[in-house]
Amino acid sequence: MTRFTRAGVFALATTLALAVVGPATAQERVKLINVVELSGAGATAGTQWRNGIDLAVADINARGGILGRQIDIVHYDTQTNPGNTRAAVQRAIDEGTYSVLGPVFSGPIGASMQIAQRAEIAQIVGGEAAGLTRQGNQFLFRTSLSQAAAMPKLATYLKETVKANRIAIVWVNNDFGKGGRDAMLPELQQRGIQVALDVSTEQGQADFTADAIRIRNANVDAVFVYLNEDESARFLLAARQQNVGKPMIGETTLLGARVIQLAGEAANGARGHVGLSIDAPVPAFQDFGRRYQARFGIASDHNGLKGYMAVHMIKWATERMGRFDRKGVADTLRGATITPQMEPGILITTRIEANGDLDRESFLAEVEGGRQVIRSTLPMIRP
Amino acid sequence: MTEVVAPSPPPSPPVARAASGLSRRLDGVLLTLIAGAVLLWFLPVGMGRYGTYVLTLWLVTSIAVMGLNLTLGIAGLKSLAQAAFMGIGAYTTAILGTKFGVDWYSCFLLSGLLSFAVGLLLGFPALRVKAHYLAFVTLAFATLVWLVFRNEQWLTGGTFGIANIARPTLFGIRTDGALAFHRFVVVVTLVLALALWWLIRSPWGRAFLALRENPIRAASLGVDIRAYTLLAFAIGSAYGGFAGALYSPLVEFIDPSPFALSASFMLLLMVVAGGSGYQLGPFVGALVAVALPEWLRFTGGLYLIVFGVVVLLLLIACPQGILGLAERGWNALRARLGAGAAEPSR
């Protein structure tokens, strides 16, 4: 009985000690909340983004955290619905997130960006639609080039390298695909390239046979493909089956590892501009790609890289300030240039414009023998 | 619980007893609505912006479900287009407000009127087709409306949507804050719920019920089937439009995704889960669909699976909805206590 009582007293004392130590331990942690598309139409992109974040958090925590504090990461699903996104971002802010990570789709970003702005908290997003950074929001930051930055490079490539004068555009009718098409059209017009066929497709579309036949029958020099990764693979397969036989030109979503994995041999010959790719001739990208594959069992696309960089942008800004300051993160990021020497997790030199856009080197690539081969490196727009 | 009508068994009690029972139930609905509004006025205090937002979203969704409950639960017309009407209201408010500077109150009324008019037009096929065929007609309509939202970018902003939708001002008081807007929505919801409460207990409401239970018998008693079918569609659609007019300033951004066909199915689920035909059913159903997934977030990545299982079990356990189950339990309790055992449950 006496021994039991002693044990009880010891347990009570330990509990009390932990209760006292608990708050101190909690102070040594920093909470980050990721609000992203884990179900609904954006689930593929959102899952990659989440995985990239999880890998970044694991890396940072293994190296001692941010200014000695370990990161607690929480993921909230938006169901790819603007109303739910808004609720989730509000919840993230109410729960004291240090910065908001996500979402990836531009619509849900548009629905939630005002909340982070009002709370004066940095929001690091995966969206690429040009309009997001034209609204004067000082707290919104991209993790990739905007479509407005990428499309001139692609249009020049079509004109000068592919020598195309008449092209077909195949695009997915969501904010990503429509945004890319709308940004591309004036660039093509400026360079005297005629759009002979404009093919709108649906998100999640399974059969591209009819689209491929239309393109085969059109008198075009090349096809500009601007679809999400899974749809890109399906389109390439349909184009191969229908013997389209035209150069397939696209962006990161046409040349990524996932497309090659799904389309197999049909992906060979696809080429174009790549912003973030684990196959790019950047050792840090390739190392990230290997570790991502090892941890999650799938190849990372550009969204995985974006999620990884997003957390490191916050880490860099905080360490640069030398303190945890929510508003300060946005102030520090705006106008900054982060190099891999300053922060290895940023992977590639990145300049953050005053409006939240990014500038980076990018690549021209081609799929050859089931691998993405980088043909040349394009410099930053304003080196 | 205090309900106005339930789907089964078919009502055929003597008129006097029915009137007495009905008025007792209706008073209960009225008291519940008023007490609920008072509670919801104060509930968000200290709740944080997130909790307040979810409560407001619940109320806005409840308005759309109230409309569908009238169309489906009370008049018995199967519609899969309620989210489309919500979209018509939301886009009307957003376009008029952001592009033409029209004040929210006018936008609200015009949203309801436009939805009413479109609902009236959609009601015409309802005169010719029944049950599943009617559902297919409304399904096609919902898809068509969604395509207009997505493809007519010059008007609706297409996939980029419309941002910066302003919240209304009431007597010079701005409702930009989460709590102020919530209270505004509480008042609007109460007004709309009271209007429906009045409608259902009016001769119109009884005509709607007759339409659902036995249209031929109703016609033989002088009920204009054609007019009431159209009205049921139109009024239910107008409630969808009113909900949309509140949804726009709540989220301050709209794009086509919340008004897709899947959203119409969710609204239908809310009618059934709450209790089809019960006037308080929409609030219960919307609570299940809006708040339950948020509460289940503690289960992490499994939360939607858990939600699906809960809804599945719920519908197996109580096909007449939560209020149907509650009423059954209440009647069983009364029978056991020997009180009111003679009165049939409705």
* Cβ contact A94–B50 (<8 Å): yes
Q: Do B255 and A175 touch (CB under 8 A)?
A: yes
Q: Which of A38, A83, A173 sits opposite B159 (nearest CB)?
A: A173
| pLDDT > 80? residue A25 | no
Contacting residues of A for B54, CB less than 8 Å apart: 87
A41/B contact by beta carbon, under 8 A: yes
Share of chain B above pLDDT 90, in %: 52
The average pLDDT across B276-296 equals 91
Instruction: Return the minimum-mean-pLDDT range out of A162-171, B159-168, B239-248.
Output: B159-168
Decide if A94 and B151 are in contact by the 8 Å CB cutoff. no
- The answer to whether A159 and A89 are in contact (CB under 8 A) is no
Count CB neighbours of A9 within 10 A: 10
- CB contacts of B153 in chain A (<8 Å) are 178
CA pair distance A306, A325, nearest whole angstrom: 23
Which pLDDT score, from 0 to 100, does residue A1 have? 40
- Contact yes or no for B160 and A129 at CB 8 A: yes
Q: Which chain B residue has its CA at the smallest distance from A107's CA? A: B160
pLDDT digits (tens, 9 = 90+) for A291-347: 999 999 988 888 999 999 999 999 999 999 999 999 999 999 999 999 999 999 999
* Contact (CB<8Å) B304/A106: no
Q: Which residue of A has its CA nearest to B56?
A: A87
Average pLDDT (A105-119) is 89
Confidence of residue A16 (pLDDT cuts 50, 70, 90): very low
Residues of B whose CB is below 8 A from A175: 159-161, 255
Q: Is A78 on the interface with B (CB under 8 A)?
A: no
Question: Chain centroid to CA A62: how far?
Answer: 23
Which SS3 state, helix, strand or coil, does residue B311 take? helix
A186 close contact with B: CB closer than 8 A: no
How many whole angstroms separate alpha carbon A358 and alpha carbon A144?
6
pLDDT in the model for residue A74 = 95
The verdict on a CB contact (< 8 Å) between A111 and B253 is yes
* CB-CB under 8 Å, A80 with B257: yes
Most confident of A146-150, B22-26, B106-110, B133-137: B106-110
Residues A10-21, mean pLDDT to the nearest whole number: 48
* Residue located via tokens 């519609």: B79
DSSP label at residue B288: I
Q: Is the pLDDT of residue B25 over 90?
A: no
Nearest Cα of chain B lies from the Cα of A2 at a distance, in angstroms, of: 42
Smallest Cβ–Cβ distance between B160 and the set A77, A79, A106 belongs to A106
Of the listed ranges A197-211, B22-36, B99-113, the one predicted with least confidence: B22-36
Mutate to test the interface with A, among B53, B257, B267, B298 (most CBs of A within 10 A): B257
**pLDDT at A279 exceeding the cut of 90:** no
pLDDT of residue A110: 86
* The pLDDT of residue B222: 83
Measured between CB atoms, does A93 come within 8 Å of chain B?
yes
Q: What is the pLDDT of residues B194-209, one digit of tens each?
A: 999 999 989 888 888 8
Q: The tokens of B145 are what?
A: 């409306």
Q: Which strands, in side-by-side order, build the sheet including A222-226?
A: A194-201, A166-172, A222-226, A248-250, A271-274, A362-368, A371-378
Cβ contacts of B254 on chain A, cutoff 8 Å: 82
Q: CB–CB of B247 and A178 under 8 A?
A: no
pTM: 0.83
Distance, CA of B333 to CA of B211 (rounded, Å)? 32
Cβ <8 Å between A114 and B304: no
Over residues B71-95, mean pLDDT: 93
pLDDT of residue A277: 85
Q: What is the pLDDT of residue B345?
A: 37
Are A249 and A225 a contacting pair, CB within 8 Å?
A: yes
B158–A93 CB contact, under 8 Å? no
pLDDT value of residue A13: 52
pLDDT at A24 over 70: no
Residue A87 to residue B57, Cβ atoms within 8 A: yes
In angstroms, the CA B50 to CA A87 distance is 6
Instruction: Please judge whether B255 and A110 are an interchain contact, meaning their C-beta atoms are less than 8 angstroms apart.
Output: yes
pLDDT at A26 over 60: no
Report the length, in residues, of chain B.
346
Q: Hey, is A169 helix, strand or coil?
A: strand
**How far is residue A235's CA from residue A270's CA, in Å, rounded to a whole number?**
11
**Contact across the interface for A110 and B53, Cβ inside 8 Å:** no
> What pLDDT does B21 receive?
52
Q: Taking 60 as the threshold, does the pLDDT of residue A174 lie above it?
A: yes
Q: Taking CB atoms and an 8 Å limit, are A111 and B301 in contact across chains?
A: no
pLDDT digits (tens, 9 = 90+) for B298-320: 887 788 888 989 889 988 888 88
Query: In chain B, what's the furthest Cα-to-Cα distance?
Result: 66
**Cα–Cα dist B18/B14, whole Å:** 6
Complex ipTM value: 0.78
Q: Which residue type sits at A248?
A: M
A80 pLDDT more than 90: no
pLDDT of residue B106: 97
Please determine, for residue A383, whether its predicted confidence score (pLDDT) is greater than 80: no
- Average the pLDDT over A73-99 and give the result: 92
Residues across chain A: 383
Tracing tokens 């960089």 back to the chain, one arrives at A309
Q: Which residues contact B193 (CB under 8 A, 6 or more apart)?
A: B33, B66, B279
pLDDT at position B47: 80
Region at A264 (left for phi over 0; alpha for psi -120 to 50; beta for the rest) = left
Among residues A361, A57, A312, A39, the alpha carbon closest in space to that of B257 is found at A39
By the CB < 8 Å criterion, does A51 face chain B?
no
Q: Indicate the DSSP class of residue B298.
A: G
Q: For the purposes of burial, counting CB atoms within 10 Å of the CB of A296, is it exposed (0-12), middle (13-18) or buried (19 or more)?
A: middle
Q: Do A82 and B254 touch (CB under 8 A)?
A: yes
Q: Mean pLDDT for chain A?
A: 89
More confident site: A36 or B18: A36
Instruction: Flag if A114 and B257 touch (Cβ within 8 Å).
Output: no
The mean per-residue pLDDT over the stretch A257-265 comes to: 88
- What is chain B's mean pLDDT, rounded? 86
Q: Which of the four pLDDT bands, split at 50, 70 and 90, describes residue B168?
A: very high
Mean per-residue pLDDT, B115-124: 92
Domain range summary for chain B, segments of one domain joined by +: 15-260
In B, which residues are within 8 Å of A38 by CB distance? 301
The CATH-assigned architecture of domain B15-260 is Orthogonal Bundle (1.10)
A76 — contact with chain B (CB < 8 Å)? yes
Cβ pair A86:B251 closer than 8 A: yes
Tell whether A185 is within 8 A of chain B (Cβ): no
pLDDT, residue A8, reads 53
Least confident window among A74-78, A79-83, B113-117: A79-83
Phi/psi of residue A381, each to 5°?
-65, -40
pLDDT above 80: residue B19 = no
Chain B residues whose C-beta sits inside 8 Å of any chain A C-beta = 48-51, 53-54, 57, 150-151, 153, 158-161, 163-164, 178, 247, 250-255, 257-258, 294, 297, 300-301, 303-304
| pLDDT greater than 90 at residue B250 | yes
Give the model's pLDDT for residue B163. Answer: 87
Q: Is B302 exposed, middle or buried (0-12, 13-18, 19+ CB in 10 A)?
A: exposed
Contacts of B159 in chain A (CB under 8 A): 107, 173-175, 178-179
pLDDT tens-place string over residues A341-367: 999 999 999 999 999 999 999 989 999
Closest CA in chain A for residue B248: A83
- pLDDT, one tens digit per residue, over A205-234 is 999 999 999 999 999 999 999 998 889 999
Instruction: Give A107's contacts in chain B (Cβ within 8 Å).
Output: 159-161, 253, 255, 257
Q: pLDDT (tens digit, 9 = 90+) per residue, B87-109?
A: 999 999 999 999 999 999 999 99
pLDDT of residue A135: 85
Question: How high is the pLDDT of residue B23?
Answer: 53
Portion of chain A with pLDDT greater than 70, in percent:
93
A107 vs B301: CB contact, 8 Å cut-off? no
Mean pLDDT value across residues B134-141 = 91
Average pLDDT over residues B254-270: 93
Mean pLDDT on B66-81: 91
Asked if omega into B9 is within 30° of 0 (cis), the reply is: yes
B254/A79 touch (CB, cutoff 8 Å), yes or no: no
